[in-house]
Amino acid sequence: MEDPSMTSTLQGVMPKDSDVVECVGTLDEANAFIGLARVSSGEELKSLLQKIQDTLFRIGAEISSGKPYMTEDDYSSILKMIRRLESEVDLPKSFVILETNRISASLSVARAVVRRTERRAVRLYRRGKLRIEVVEWLNKLSYLLYLMALKTR
């Protein structure tokens, strides 16, 4: 019988409560909420969210394998998306409730889970198991999801 407390990753078999598996799991959760927002959204947002999900799969592979999969293009692409949305959205001067419909609520939950993923990624980075570029990308993603939630509310 296989040990149910272990799982396979691109680095091999490891405990399900390892930092790597925890980070990949929270990344999967974020991806699921992004997918939920994507299926409910219009074509423009759907396209952006699909690009984000494509990058999330590469980041998951990087976390799971310990080898670089995320590219400079992935980073420049998210910065471009941020600049575009910043020009389209009025940033609030105080806290606002983002969750006014299904899409903005899904994006808000996705953002919260991405922030948790980022914290898990920082742990891996501090232990020399992940590049800082992945942490930076996740940080930018949480801001981008915030901008998207603002735009859709």
Q: With left for phi above 0 and alpha for psi between -120 and 50, is residue 140 left, alpha or beta?
A: alpha
In a domain, 112, yes or no: yes
Q: What is the mean pLDDT of the chain?
A: 94
pLDDT at 15: 65
Is the model's pLDDT at 8 over the cut of 80?
no
Is the model's pLDDT at 30 over the cut of 90?
yes
Count of domains observed in the chain: 1
pLDDT at 115: 98
Is the pTM higher than 0.75? The answer reads yes
pLDDT at 122: 98
In a domain, 2, yes or no: no
Tens of pLDDT along 71-102? 999 999 999 999 999 999 999 999 999 999 99
In a domain, 1, yes or no: no
**Residue from 25, 6, 54 nearest 121 by CA:** 25
DSSP string, 4-62: TTEEEETTEEEETTSHHHHHHHHHHHHHHHHHHHHHHS-HHHHHHHHHHHHHHHHHHHH
In a domain, 13, yes or no: yes
Percent over 70 (pLDDT), the chain: 98
CATH code where residue 15 lies: 1.20.1200.10
Is the model's pLDDT at 7 over the cut of 90?
no
Tens of pLDDT along 10-24? 777 886 778 999 999
Give the domain extent around 120. 7-152
Average pLDDT of the segment spanning 97-122: 97
Q: What is the distance between the alpha carbons of residues 124 and 45, in angstroms, rounded to a whole number?
A: 31
In a domain, 65, yes or no: yes
In a domain, 82, yes or no: yes
